[in-house]
Amino acid sequence: MSFKFKKKLPVPKEIKELYPVSSALAAQKKELDQQIIDVITGKSDKFLAIIGPCSADNEASVCEYIERLVKVQEKIKDKVIIVPRIYTNKPRTTGEGYKGMLHQPDPEKAPDLLQGIIAIRKLHMHALETYGMPIADEMLYPENYWYLADILSYVAIGARSVEDQQHRLVTSGFDVPAGMKNPTSGDFSVMLNSVVAAQAAHNFIYRGWDVNTEGNPYAHTILRGSTNKYGRSRPNYHYEDLMKLLDMYGERSLKFPAAIVDANHANSDKQFKEQIRIVKEVLHSRSLSNDIRNLVKGVMIESYLVEGNQKIGCQPHVYGQSITDPCLGWEDSENLLYEIAERC
């Protein structure tokens, strides 16, 4: 057989029983969920800043980063809701390289999925309980979502996952906002079809169960740029792109048209400093058109304590620097958050 079954992993219910969320923490999460829901539905005119490392590779540095965000959030809370990115699953284009804390709690040691499941649950719980901010992660593996379903307030569906039937159907069972990225091809129709699917009710097989879902009205789009047939990046955050997306939303019967602009990835061609300029352009587009202002609910920014990135195992290791894609450093990130608040 080509599969070697190493060990049976605990089901989500067993992990939750070992590391339970208290009733007080559950109530706090529900309040945080509602804040983001109110932005997506238009009930609140606050702006979302979904910001953090490309991948959450180290609990200590991730928590130090979030602790700094808390201080900024207090100063801009009337205008901006900061949602820390704690991305514990890392998609890899070729399947090679570091796949995130879920796979390797210690990036320099061998993969250990059981310890990885425990590590990411403990990290998310610690961040929520200690800092009281809504937490975002990416759903790379639909069957693993339930390990964190009682902790996350925002979920992103990646460009390589958004066309997958199982991702779309599982998203229809979320009770929190879910951002569906445009595929790497950049096709807006594919992205919007994923939102249609996620907002609808479904019946399907999930973790060995016959399940029904009611649909997720808070599913929305994320613009992350695209890659053409020659592998070159093409942005899709410009004014004309946003207006086209708005027109295409109007052609479909969707609840709460909403979009987030991912300032990195193909939009920046992974030139991390470009995120600053891109966010400013998006804010300018919102200032020019009330329609765009109502459509664009926030931005995604890749940011960490130290700018740039490093290779796994490099010496000396730089604490708080990305081991995957390059990120903005703290000073630039802090200044950008303040500017977002001023211009919202």
pLDDT-derived band at 92 (thresholds 50, 70, 90) equals: confident
pLDDT-derived band at 94 (thresholds 50, 70, 90) equals: confident
What would the DSSP string read from start to end of 108-142? TS---HHHHHHHHHHHHHHHHHHH----EEE-SSG
CA gap 167, 89 in Å, rounded: 14
- Topology classification of domain 19-343: TIM Barrel (3.20.20)
Residue 257 has a pLDDT of 95
CA gap 92, 159 in Å, rounded: 11
pLDDT-derived band at 1 (thresholds 50, 70, 90) equals: low
pLDDT-derived band at 35 (thresholds 50, 70, 90) equals: very high
Residue 78 has a pLDDT of 97
CA gap 129, 151 in Å, rounded: 10
CB-based contact 95:140 (threshold 8 Å): no
The pTM of this model reads 0.96
pLDDT-derived band at 86 (thresholds 50, 70, 90) equals: very high
pLDDT at 177 exceeding the cut of 80? yes
Spatial CA neighbour of 160 closest among 146, 143, 181: 181
What is the average pLDDT score of the chain? 96
Phi, psi angle pair for 220, to nearest 5°: -150, 180
pLDDT at 93 exceeding the cut of 90? no
Q: Where are the domains of the chain?
A: 19-343
The predicted model gives 194-198 an average pLDDT of 98
Q: Which tens digits make up the pLDDT trace of 257-315?
A: 999 999 999 999 999 999 999 999 999 999 999 999 999 999 999 999 999 999 998 88
Residue 55 has a pLDDT of 95
CA gap 224, 220 in Å, rounded: 13
Residue with the bigger pLDDT between 98 and 199: it is: 199
Residue type at position 253? S
User: What percent of the chain shows pLDDT beyond 70?
Assistant: 100
Spatial CA neighbour of 295 closest among 332, 322, 330, 258: 258
Q: 22 Cβ partners below 8 Å, 6+ apart?
A: none
Q: 57 Cβ partners below 8 Å, 6+ apart?
A: 98, 100, 101, 107, 322, 323, 324
